Amino acid sequence: MRGGNRIVDKLLSAHRTDSARHLTSFAKGPIIHHMMTSSRDELFAQSSEPVVRIAHLRVIRGKRPALHDFSVEISRGAITGLLGPSGCGKTTLMRCIVGTQIIASGTVTVLGHPAGSAALRRRVGYLPQDPTIYNDLRIIDNVRYIASLYGFDGHAADEAIDRVGLTDHRTAYCGNLSGGQRTRVSLACALVCQPDLLVLDEPTVGLDPVLRVDLWDQFAELARTGTTLLVSSHVMDEADHCGDLLLMREGRLVAHTTPAQLREDTSCTSLEEAFLSIIKRSTAQQAGPKAG
């Protein structure tokens, strides 16, 4: 244990590696937050307000538009699924919400503040596609390192590890973990300070069906305890785990709906078929004026 603490102390004092600089940059930006009681009370008092409000957002990546006049509101205390094919702009949209993406025009408001503002640095958790953890450290050391960046003690790290079901593996080295376990370590790092909004970029990619179901069960438990989750995926059958759905294609929002409403509107029982139906309808609508 002492060896692990020495490694953590060394990381805190040096930040020599690229991954340390990457973690520290997120620590200065929007990752995690332990809310004071007054903030929690204020949050519930404003429960009717959306967690995220996006208006006429445009993003240019390179010379190509990545998001086109994107507007949406994300409800509080629910799981919202962000679904669409790879390359449709899901990650770009998430980066806009956590405040790490330069935007060309439009506004992104998160928890009543402009995205990326200082007031949000400890209220928004972000889990990127690639888990940002140290392979040569144990699970407990990784999570305690993140906790220490925010002034939290080992108890907060222990609680976060328990929430993702890794207590029995807390002394395992991350380099020896499976893909699903690595994802859960990253999730523990994002949960250590109890964020109000948790943004998860394709957290189930590459996982087998059993692990995917287990992870979605954990997301549902987080939502039940008051956390708002935005979860992206290109796997349409995961949509049934979400309360709301944002369906994207080529940088545009083609539908803001629910699984039940999507099936009803398209008369499809398969969500994948329903999504394809929405895409065809959207494509036809865009082509209509041009044809005329």
pLDDT per residue over 107-131, tens digit each? 999 999 999 998 898 799 999 988 7
SS3 261: helix
For residue 57, being part of any structural domain is answered with: yes
* β-bridge partners, 80: 230, 244
| Domain, as residue range, for 148 | 2-286
Instruction: Please name the amino acid found at residue 125.
Output: G
241: which DSSP letter? Answer: G
**Per-residue pLDDT tens digits for 234-250:** 888 899 999 999 999 99
Domain count, the chain: 1
Give domain status of residue 81, yes or no. yes
Summarize pLDDT for 30-86 with one digit per residue, the tens: 443 333 333 444 444 456 789 999 999 999 998 899 999 999 999 999 999 999 988
Structural domain includes residue 218: yes
H/E element, 210 = helix 209-224
State the CATH number of the domain containing residue 157.
3.40.50.300
* Residue 113 domain flag: yes
> DSSP E strands: which ranges in 202-281?
228-233, 244-249, 252-257
- 3-state helix, strand, coil split of the chain in percent (to 5) is 45, 20, 30
Q: Please provide the average confidence, as pLDDT, over all residues in the chain.
A: 84
Position 141 in a domain: yes
Work out the pLDDT band at 290, boundaries 50, 70, 90.
low
Asked which of 12-16, 254-258, 287-291 is least confident by mean pLDDT, the reply is 12-16
Q: Can you give the pLDDT at residue 158?
A: 96
3-31, pLDDT tens digit by residue?
A: 555 555 555 554 434 443 444 444 444 44
Q: What is the pLDDT of residues 143-170, one digit of tens each?
A: 999 999 877 889 999 999 998 989 999 9
Average pLDDT over residues 259-268: 95
Asked whether residue 189 is assigned to any structural domain, the reply reads: yes
Which among 99, 82, 35 is positioned nearest to 201, based on CA atoms? 82
Q: What predicted TM-score, i.e. pTM, was given to this entire model?
A: 0.81
Q: Encode pLDDT of 211-224 as tens digits.
A: 888 889 999 999 99
Domain-located, residue 291 = no
Does the residue 292 lie in any domain? no
Give me the mean pLDDT over the 251-267 stretch.
Answer: 95
